[in-house]
Amino acid sequence: MKKWKNFLIEIDQKTAVVSFNRPEALNALNYDVLTELEQILDELHKDDSVYTLILTGAGDKSFIAGGDIKDMSRMNVEEGKLYAYTGTALLRKIEEFEKPIIAAVNGYALGGGTELAMACDIRIASEKATFGQPETGLGIIPGFAGTQRLPRLVGKGMAKLLIFTAKRIKADEALRIGLCEAVVPPAELLDYCKKLAAAINENGPTSVRLAKAAINHGLDMDLRSGCRFESFVFGHCFATEDHREGTAAFVEKRKANFPGKYKK
Ligand code: COA
């Protein structure tokens, strides 16, 4: 993979670790970062050797310190809207990315940092992580879908509490309210996420991707429609090599060796 200005990428054992690397601004999301991440996602989408992504911040201080406040201080109404559209579209791309994406939240995850983490499938936080939506303290509101994903994740009242007060919370509080799934010591964060990715990678990659789609789309539907959608996706699994290999391995009492391909 080519060299990126704002990212470090390491691919090993079917997992790509994508590290935000803009230390001078604590990994704040300017247009440059958003554009590069979009290109990286396109490349990793096409790379069949990659099953799972981990998004993290380089160093141990910051995951992402939010949208770029210096840039935002100069924006007018139209520019503000465009910036929000751009960031929101990228986060939707993360959410809808076929392969699972784990956020390894290593430090500050403020504003766009919390928003980006929420677009990932699973959030693992370091004990040093800080979450929050500080936008109202800057005279704006969350613009990368924070007002939408936060209440869906932690409930309406807690989302309002966090957004209205602009309060920052520590990892243990984030865990308590369901904003992250686990908290681990800083030195263990990446290893923990790699092991988690490896556990995911052992399963049928096509099944994992279809399960992701079923969960995400189902949550946007009423229960009946979601169940119906799941039945269609379940049926679709029977056209995959993953299904043939996974069920055969059980019957033959051996470990499955998933090819991760649709049956021709
Ligand atoms: N946008 C642009 N630049 C940012 C930034 C952001 N969101 N967050 C940090 N930076 C820059 C700082 O301006 C500073 O640059 P400078 O040295 O050129 O002045 C550099 O990153 C280091 O930040 P600094 O504030 O000195 O570090 P700190 O350790 O004292 O504080 C934070 C860290 C994260 C608490 C603090 O930077 C902060 O509150 N950032 C903004 C968080 C936020 O409100 N995000 C939501 C945006 S919508």
Ligand 1: residue whose CA is nearest its atom 45: 66
161 CA from centroid of ligand 1 (Å): 23
Low-confidence ranges of the chain (pLDDT < 70): 263-264
65 CA from centroid of ligand 1 (Å): 6
Q: Does domain 205-251 have CATH number 1.10.12.10?
A: yes
Which atom of ligand 1 is nearest to 68's Cα? 1
Q: What is the pLDDT of residue 1?
A: 75
Instruction: Fold for 7-201, please state it.
Output: 2-enoyl-CoA Hydratase; Chain A, domain 1 (3.90.226)
Question: Is the whole model's pTM more than 0.85, yes or no?
Answer: yes
CATH topology match: 7-201 vs 205-251: no
263 to each of 59, 202, 203, 206, 244, how far by Cα in Å?
43, 19, 17, 11, 9
153 CA from centroid of ligand 1 (Å): 26
Q: What is the pLDDT of residue 157?
A: 98
Residues tagged active-site: 115, 135
Please state whether beta strands 130-132 and 122-126 pair in parallel, antiparallel, or not at all (unpaired): unpaired
What span, in angstroms and rounded, lies between the C-alpha atoms of 261 and 90? 27
- The most distant pair of C-alpha atoms in the chain lies apart, rounded to whole Å, by 64
Domain edges within the chain? 7-201, 205-251
Closest CA relative to residue 183, chosen from 197, 195, 173, 168:
173
Q: What is the pLDDT of residue 127?
A: 98
- CA-CA-CA-CA torsion for 27, 150, 43, 69, nearest 10 degrees? -30
Convert the pLDDT of each residue in 25-80 to its tens digit.
Answer: 999 999 999 999 999 999 999 999 999 999 999 988 999 999 999 999 999 999 99
